[in-house]
């Protein structure tokens, strides 16, 4: 079992390393705020990023950060115990905005946004140049479908995205890793995964997109990878942008100086 765990860990770590290299996510001397919710994705990312520090040629620092949203199923004490066991610097904080803002409907977007705002503020306070998020390949492909179906846009999460004029960057080192791989890795590493009990999870748009991809995979096992590749192989000549429309000459106006017979 140990050899199997080491093999899976190496396989996933290699994918993370390739994503970091392809998108130039980390530079020497970076201080990175790593968002940890307590789920399998962020806990796996924390372990991988910590282990990579032992053998990569560049030096960087990670600070684990958990934003306590007050959810009763999240035991922040167990996260603190895990951070100390891993030997990483950590911060447990609370959102600066109220969870139930007047006039706002609480849901996935609002929850994500107020956590993101706290990450931005904390990164500035701690002098971090990057925020590492645990989004994986499934998240990226599902977000593309969600934006297509519900927003009428062709866009998704970027593996590397600069913010505030380049002062801060969001990085997603798990961009090449599939969710099922992270689930197996977290189990093999015996990480203290906190399972979400969010009531919105069963009815979310992401769940719908996930189900559609799963159904499509019954016909082609490479569906997720193909969706991801499509974002890198855009053929603008076959899109409906205005710059691609043919120029249609205006019809000539009839002359008003016609001679009468």
Domain coordinates in residue numbering, the chain: 2-235
Q: What is the pLDDT of residues 58-108, one digit of tens each?
A: 999 999 999 988 777 788 889 999 999 999 999 999 887 665 555 455 566
pLDDT of residue 223: 95
Q: Where are the alpha helices (DSSP H) in 71-136?
A: 76-86, 108-126
Residue 203 has pLDDT above 70, yes or no: no
CATH of domain 2-235: 3.40.50.620
Picking from 26-35, 173-182, 228-237, 242-251, which range would have the lowest pLDDT averaged per residue? 242-251
Residue 252 has pLDDT above 90, yes or no: no
- From CA 69, how far away is CA 94, in angstroms rounded? 6
pLDDT of residue 253: 52
What value does the mean pLDDT take over residues 163-178?
Answer: 96
Residue 175 has pLDDT above 70, yes or no: yes
Which residues in 207-232 are b (16+ Cβ under 10 Å) and which e? eebbeebeeeeeeeeebbeebbeeee
Q: What is the pLDDT of residues 135-147, one digit of tens each?
A: 999 999 999 999 9
**What angle (nearest 5°) sits at the alpha carbon of residue 219, between those of residues 16 and 7?**
30
Q: The pTM is what? A: 0.85
* Mean of all residue pLDDT scores within the chain: 87
Q: What is the pLDDT of residues 6-64, one digit of tens each?
A: 888 999 999 999 999 999 999 999 999 999 999 999 999 999 999 999 999 999 999 99
Residue 3 has pLDDT above 80, yes or no: no
Q: How far is CA 65 from CA 49, 99, 120, in A?
A: 14, 19, 11
């Amino acid at each position: 079992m140990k050899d199997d765990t080491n093999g899976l860990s190496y396989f996933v770590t290699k994918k993370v390393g390739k994503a970091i290299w392809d998108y130039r996510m980390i530079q020497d001397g970076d201080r990175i705020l790593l968002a940890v919710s307590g789920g399998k994705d962020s806990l796996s990312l924390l372990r991988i990023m910590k282990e990579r520090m032992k053998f990569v040629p560049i030096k960087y620092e990670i600070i684990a950060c958990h934003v306590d949203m007050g959810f009763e199923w999240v035991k922040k004490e167990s996260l603190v115990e895990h951070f100390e066991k891993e030997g990483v610097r950590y911060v447990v904080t609370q959102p600066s905005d109220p969870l139930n803002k007047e006039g706002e409907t609480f849901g996935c977007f609002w929850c994500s946004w107020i956590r993101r705002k706290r990450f931005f503020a904390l990164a500035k306070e701690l002098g971090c140049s990057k925020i590492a998020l645990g989004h994986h390949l499934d998240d990226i492909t599902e977000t593309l479908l969600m934006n297509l179906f519900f927003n009428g846009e062709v866009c998704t999460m970027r593996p590397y995205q600069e913010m505030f004029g380049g002062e801060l960057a969001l990085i997603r080192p798990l961009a090449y890793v599939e969710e099922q791989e992270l689930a197996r890795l977290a189990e093999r590493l015996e990480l203290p995964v906190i399972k979400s009990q969010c009531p919105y999870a069963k009815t979310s748009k992401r769940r719908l997109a996930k189900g559609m991809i799963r159904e499509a995979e019954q016909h082609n096992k490479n569906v997720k990878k193909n969706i991801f590749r499509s974002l890198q192989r855009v053929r603008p000549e076959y899109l409906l942008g205005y710059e691609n429309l043919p120029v249609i000459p205006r019809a000539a106006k009839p002359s008003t100086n016609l001679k009468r017979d």
